[in-house]
Each structure stands twice: as C-alpha cells, then as structure tokens.
Amino acid sequence: MISDCVFCRISSGEISSKKIYENANFFSIPDASPRVDGHSLVISKKHFATILDLPSELGEEFIDCVKITSEKLMREKNASGFNVISNNFKSAGQVVHHVHFHIIPRRKDDKMDEELMFG
C-alpha cells in the first residue's frame, strides 16, 4: 500500500466506497467524477502503477471484474454497450498512478464526445 494513493486507501478500507463488485484482487466502484451516468472504475487491490506492472496471472480475475461490473451497469443504466479505457503514464492522461480501468456505459445515439473517453 502506498499511503498517499487514494486507490490504496479505498482498497484498505481507510476511505469508504460503495463497491459494485469485488473478487480476490480487484474491485469496482462508481467514479467520483463521472463523465456519464454509470461511469465506474475497476481497480486492483494491490498497488501497481500501470497495466505494465500488473502481473499477467491476474488477467482472469481482471476480466471477471470487468465483465460482471459491465453487465450490471448495462442492466441498471439501460445501456446497450460499454467502453473499457485505461490511461497509462502521465503523457497518456493517467492522473492516479494506481492501475485502474474506466467502464463507460453507452447507449445507442448517445453522441458521447470521444474526448470524454480519452481526454
């Protein structure tokens, strides 16, 4: 755990959060500043700075968390699709240097600006 990392503090329970789903190595929560209704995050419980630091053997649990979270969001938010986005390193827009993935529920003709997803 990195003491000044907000995601480490959420993972340890120091900061409370409403978990959407959780398994042994990942959890998902609503984004604190959502870009769209249902915007959520999948976060590793252990601190890894970027996806390059994430051990490959955690891939199955990562996909499990993404799939279950996305299915739940699509159902609850009446979405017909979703995007999974991960910004890695400052130059790519990563703000919190703890690996995390944005799940963005999408609706047909939502006209969501691509900059919302990547900017």
Predicted TM-score (pTM) of the model is: 0.92
The per-residue pLDDT for 116 is 52
- For residue 68, the surrounding DSSP H or E stretch is helix 59-76
Is 101:41 a contact under the CB 8 Å cutoff? yes
The per-residue pLDDT for 115 is 53
Q: Give me the chain's average pLDDT, please.
A: 93
Q: Please determine, for residue 108, whether its predicted confidence score (pLDDT) is greater than 90.
A: no
Catalytic positions are 100
User: What is the rounded distance in angstroms from the CA atom of residue 76 to the CA atom of residue 6?
Assistant: 27
Amino acid found at 100: H
Tell me the domains of the chain and their CATH numbers.
6-118 (3.30.428.10)
